[in-house]
Amino acid sequence: MALLELKNVTKRFGGLVAVNQVSLEIDKGEFVGIVGPNGSGKTTLFNVINGVFFPEEGTVTFEGRDITRLPPFKRAPLGIGRTFQIPRPFASATVRENIAVGAMFGTQGRSLNVDGSLQIADQIIERVDLTAHRDKPAGALTPVEKKLMEIARSLAMKPKLLLMDEAMAGMHPNDIDQMVSFIKRVAEEENIAIVAMVEHIMRAVVGLAEKVIVLHQGSKIVDAPTKEALEDPKVVEVYLGHAPED
Please give the residue ranges that form the binding site for Mg ion (CB under 5 A): 42-43
- What number of chain residues touch ligand ATP (CB under 6 A)? 11
CA angle 246, 214, 205 (to 5 degrees): 145
Asked if residue 222 binds ligand ATP (CB under 6 A), the reply is no
- Rounded to 10 deg, the angle between the 114-128 and 143-156 helix axes is 130
Give the residue, chosen from 36, 55, 87, 159, that forms a contact with ligand ATP under the rule CB under 6 A.
36
| Closer residue to ligand ATP (CB): 53 or 62 | 53
Q: Are strands 65-66 and 57-62 parallel, antiparallel or unpaired?
A: antiparallel
Applying the rule CB under 6 A, the residues between 12 and 31 that interact with ligand ATP are 13, 16, 18
Q: Which is nearer to ligand ATP, 18 or 103 (CB)?
A: 18
Q: How far apart are the first and last CA of the chain?
A: 32
Residue closer to Mg ion (CB basis): 43 or 117: 43
β-strand 4-13 against 57-62: which pairing, if any?
antiparallel
What residue 40 binds from Mg ion, ligand ATP, none (CB within 5 to 8 A, per partner kind)?
ligand ATP
- In sequence order, the 6+-apart residues with CB closer than 8 A to the CB of 234 are 214, 216, 221, 222, 244
Among 5, 42, 147, 154, contact with ligand ATP (rule: CB under 6 A): 42
Q: Which of 5, 9, 40, 222 lies at the binding interface for ligand ATP (CB under 6 A)?
A: 40
50 binds, among ligand ATP, Mg ion, none (CB under 5 to 8 A by kind): none
- Which uninterrupted H or E stretch holds 184? helix 173-190
Shortest CB 15 distance to ligand ATP, Å: 10
The nearest distance, CB 40 to ligand ATP, in angstroms, is 4
For ligand ATP, which is the closer residue by CB, 40 or 98?
40
Stretch that binds ligand ATP, among 35-43, 73-81, 140-148, 228-236 (CB under 6 A): 35-43
Distance CA 85, CA 170 (A): 11
Which of these ranges, 33-41, 74-82, 137-145, 167-175, lies near ligand ATP under the rule CB under 6 A?
33-41
CA quadruple 182, 209, 85, 23: dihedral, nearest 10: -140
Nearer to ligand ATP, 39 or 139 (CB): 39
CB contact at 8 A, 54 and 9:
no
Give dist(CA 246, CA 244) in Å, integer. 7
Spatial distance between the Cα atoms of 1 and 108, rounded to a whole number of angstroms: 23
Within residues 43-82, the interface with ligand ATP by CB under 6 A covers 43-44
Contact residues for ligand ATP, defined by CB under 6 A: 13, 16, 18, 36, 38-44
